[in-house]
Chain A
Amino acid sequence: MDANMITPFVNAIQNVFSTMFQLPVEIGEPRLKTDRKATHDVSGIIGVSGEMVGSIVLSMPLEAANSVVTLFAGTEFDTDSADFADAVGELINMISGNAKAEFQRKAVSISCPSVVIGADHTIAVQSGTPCVLIPCTTDCGEVVLEVALREAEAEVSTNTSAAA
């Protein structure tokens, strides 16, 4: 994956966390993720389609997620509640949208977010798509951004239907 693809996500998580709840984010050394197991117990997931395809995941330990969500929403939610999942989803939505604006590509869309909570869940990534893990340190604990993106393949016409 092009290293330039990582910078927008670094900028985005720092921008979202500092603007919405004044939480500084220190970025660690990005590395390739080699297994499908979720890094932490809470995953906010966004799909990317268009000229780029793949997924972006905000992965947080439950305790860190609870602290981040409390700062963001201004109130503490039960981690089993729909409100908690909603807040995690909105965070990854803002991070992805912010990063997307720096892609300089016209036709990239992001999906509505999904949130998975639970120990040892796995997140499938399309084969052939490298996943870069960006570790981030905050006062709420470690959070991780997982960026699995690649250029969309040019559509090849396989239409062999005979003329009527």
Chain B
Amino acid sequence: MKILLIDDSKTMRNIQKSVLKQLGYTEIEEACDGQDALSKVGAFNPDLCLVDWNMPVMDGLTFVTTFRKTDKTTPLIMVTTEAEKSRVIEAIKAGVNNYVVKPFTPDLLSERITETLAKCSSVGS
């Protein structure tokens, strides 16, 4: 399972990476903004992306919209401080499969990752 972490905060990427490692996922690539992520998805070919919203250069919503033009199936989870219902709806319309509001506990993030992968694999099978 290959996972791409997209967040401009290295601290936040490290926290997410530690949760992923506890879940047994070790093949992890990192990107510091949407544009960096787009330059890495081709070679890395992730099975799941965790995407922040507010980032310099290219924000997470623009990444999701651009990514979904060519990839309709790879699960995307938005992990962001944007907590308003209107933002969640906007992200889901753009193509995210699940949504985690910061701050989060490791248990919540684990739960959302597991639930997203299960849901997407049952749809794909």
Residues of A whose CB lies within 8 Å of any CB of B are 15-16, 19-20, 72-74, 82-83, 86-87, 89-90, 93-94, 96-98, 100-101, 106, 110, 112
Contacts and interface: CB of A to CB of B under 8 A. Distances in A.
Interface of B: 8-12, 14-15, 18, 54-56, 80-84, 86, 101-105
B11 A97 contact: no
Contacts of B55: 112
Given A74-B18, A106-B86, A112-B56, A97 B102 contact: yes
A72 B11 contact: yes
A89 B102 CA distance: 14
Contacts of A74: 14-15, 18
Contacts, number: 60
Nearest to A90: B9
12 contacts: A16-B103, A73-B15, A74-B14, A87-B9, A87-B11, A90-B9, A93-B54, A96-B81, A98-B81, A98-B102, A100-B81, A112-B55
Name the residue among B11, B12, B83 with the largest chain A CB count within 10 angstroms. B11
A15 B10 contact: no
Given A15-B103, A20-B103, A90 B83 contact: no
Given A89-B9, A112-B56, A94 B81 contact: yes
A85 to B, nearest CB: 10
B69 to A, nearest CB: 25
